[in-house]
Every structure is written in structure tokens, then in C-alpha cells.
């Protein structure tokens, strides 16, 4: 078991180093090519192997010192990896083949004022890629600007873009919401984010849409990762300081 633990730790160290090198290489490639590289088949195998390695370390408790904090942090990383895999295009394709459930690829929805829209378009080509199980109707769109500055800068800078949107399902309005940057709408398993607009006449808004699949495990993983790292790094020195203070106060 000790030999297995040592081998696992060496493998984890090699994986950490490899990922660090690939991250720097990806930064030089730019986001589009980096995304392609990190979603390629060899890297998919790497992600799965990493998740298995970390799961093994958690289940067999081969982490150094059997630290609870490290175990929680590793569980967080595993959840992030699994959530990321579940939300990926590859998982969508497998899901569609196995169960017939069709999950829409990320795209854009162009909502014109007063007209319900359920078409999801490709971001680059604007070709339809699928249909939402409900429609979005733009009620109003606003470009909110800062107040004019004392220096008379014209026009004042943009503070935010706001789309008043109604969600229509089976001909009935089921929700109404203002979508703006940093304030997306989540409905029916999809997220809608302010992405663009009609700069000339403000007649339509462009919303980025993507499936919420995998979001929950990823966010739970983030929480566990933070909790575990703080626990592993700060617990002992904080406890030592508090007990020292307690002893001094007692004396």
C-alpha cells in the first residue's frame, strides 16, 4: 500500500507539472487554440486519468499525512473535473447517442422587440443550430450610460446594457426578467447572458445561451476546493496561535 501511495504521489506530481507546462503553452496559443488543445482527445484521456488518480488518492487515503483538508480539496478538484466533463460537448454527444436527450450547444439567441424567438444560432456563422424548449420575447432594451462628466466627454461611457425579457412557454408568459451584464437569466436548464445589441435602432438584443449542465458540481467543487485548501494550510498555524494566545491570557 505504501508503494502504491508513493507511485500515486509521483504520478500526481508529474500530472501537475505537465498541466502547468501545457497551461503556459496554451497561453501562447491564444484562447481559441488553447480551448481546442485542452478539449482534444489526448487531453480528454488526461482529464479522465487525472480524475481517476485523484479519486484513488481519496478512496485509499494515500495523501501525505492523511490530511482532511487535502482530501476535501482533492474531492473539490474531482467534482470540478467531473462537472466540466458532464457539461462538455463530448458528453452532450454521448448523451444524445445513448438516451436521445438533446442538449443544445452554446450559441446566441437574437430576440427582436415584441417577437418571441426560440432559435439558437452559431456564434460565428449565425446559422441555426437548434431550438429552445421555450421562447424569449424582448420587451425593451436600454443602453444605460454614466452621467455626463464635468470635462464634457461625449458621449458618456456605457454603464450597462439591459434587456427586459419575457419567457414564453406554450403561448403563456411564465417569467419576466431584466438581463444585463453580470445579471444573467437561468431558466429551463439554460443560462442567458447579455452579449450584444442593435447599435443603430436598439430593436434587438443578442443573448449568449449555454446549457447549465455540470454547473452545480463545478460550483460545489469550487467550494470544496477553497474549504479544503484553507483547512489544510491555515488550520494548524491558526490553532497554534489561538492556543498560544489562550495560554498567555490564562497566565
Partner 1 sequence: MAPDAPVVHALIYAAMLAYLLAGVAFISGRRRWGGAFHASGFVVALVAFVVLWGRSEHLPLQGLFGVFLCLGALMYPLSAFCRRFLGVEGRAGDALIGFALFFPAAFVFKPGPGDLMPALQSPLMGVHVGAYLLAYAVLFKAGIQACKALATRGDDGRGRAASRELDAFKLVRLGFPLLTLGLVLGAVWGSVAWGDYWQWDPKELWSLAMWLVYAGYFQVRSMSGARRPRLSAAIAVVGAVVVVATILWVNLARIFAGLHSYAA
Task: Return the number of other C-beta atoms located less than 10 Å from residue 155's C-beta.
Answer: 9
CA distance 99 to 91: 12
CA distance 134 to 69: 44
CB of 16 to partner 1, least distance (A): 5
Q: Among candidates 4, 9, 40, which has minimal Cα distance to 22? A: 40
47 interacts with partner 1 by CB under 8 A: no
182 interacts with partner 1 by CB under 8 A: yes
Q: How far is CA 248 from the centre of its chain?
A: 47
Per-residue x/- track, 95-134, partner 1 (CB under 8 A): -----------x----------------------------
Nearer to partner 1, 114 or 242 (CB): 242
Q: What residues contact residue 54 under an 8 Å CB cut-off, 6+ apart? A: 12, 74, 77, 78, 81
Which part of the chain contacts partner 1 (CB under 8 A), choosing from 47-55, 113-121, 164-172, 211-219?
211-219
CB of 76 to partner 1, least distance (A): 9
CA distance 163 to 194: 8
- Binding-site residue total for partner 1 (CB under 8 A)? 58
237 interacts with partner 1 by CB under 8 A: yes
Per-residue x/- track, 8-27, partner 1 (CB under 8 A): -xx-xx--xx-xxx-xx-xx
229 interacts with partner 1 by CB under 8 A: yes
CA distance 58 to 79: 12
CA distances from 5 to 11, 46, 138, 139, 191 (A): 10, 20, 57, 60, 42
E strands in the chain: 107-112, 117-121, 128-145, 158-169, 172-180, 185-187, 190-197, 204-211
152 interacts with partner 1 by CB under 8 A: no
When binding is defined by CB under 8 A, the residue of 4, 189, 216, 219 that contacts partner 1 is 219
Residues near partner 1, by CB under 8 A: 9-10, 12-13, 16-17, 19-21, 23-24, 26-28, 30-32, 34-35, 38, 64-65, 84, 106, 146, 149-151, 156-161, 180-184, 191, 193-195, 208-210, 215, 218-219, 222, 225-226, 229-230, 233-234, 237, 241
Amino acid at each position: 500500500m505504501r508503494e502504491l501511495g508513493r507511485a500515486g504521489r509521483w504520478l500526481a506530481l508529474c500530472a501537475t507539472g505537465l498541466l502547468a507546462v501545457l497551461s503556459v503553452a496554451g497561453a501562447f496559443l491564444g484562447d481559441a487554440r488553447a480551448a481546442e488543445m485542452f478539449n482534444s482527445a489526448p487531453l480528454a484521456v488526461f482529464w479522465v486519468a487525472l480524475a481517476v488518480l485523484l479519486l484513488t488518492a481519496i478512496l485509499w487515503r494515500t495523501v501525505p499525512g492523511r490530511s482532511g483538508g487535502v482530501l476535501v480539496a482533492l474531492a473539490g478538484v474531482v467534482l470540478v473535473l467531473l462537472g466540466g466533463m458532464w457539461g462538455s460537448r463530448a458528453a452532450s454527444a454521448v448523451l444524445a447517442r445513448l438516451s436521445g436527450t438533446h442538449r443544445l450547444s452554446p450559441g446566441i439567441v437574437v430576440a427582436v422587440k415584441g417577437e418571441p424567438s426560440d432559435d439558437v444560432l452559431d456564434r460565428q456563422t449565425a446559422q441555426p443550430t437548434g431550438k429552445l424548449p421555450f421562447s424569449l420575447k424582448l420587451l425593451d432594451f436600454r443602453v444605460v450610460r454614466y452621467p455626463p462628466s464635468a470635462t464634457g466627454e461625449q458621449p458618456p461611457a456605457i454603464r450597462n446594457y439591459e434587456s427586459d425579457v419575457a419567457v414564453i412557454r406554450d403561448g403563456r408568459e411564465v417569467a419576466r426578467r431584466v438581463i444585463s451584464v453580470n445579471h444573467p437569466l437561468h431558466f429551463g436548464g439554460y443560462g442567458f447572458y447579455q452579449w450584444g445589441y442593435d447599435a443603430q435602432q436598439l430593436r434587438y438584443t443578442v443573448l449568449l445561451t449555454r446549457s447549465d449542465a455540470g454547473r452545480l458540481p463545478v460550483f460545489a467543487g469550487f467550494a470544496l476546493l477553497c474549504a479544503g485548501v484553507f483547512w489544510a494550510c491555515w488550520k494548524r498555524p491558526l490553532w497554534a496561535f489561538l492556543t498560544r494566545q489562550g495560554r498567555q491570557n490564562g497566565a
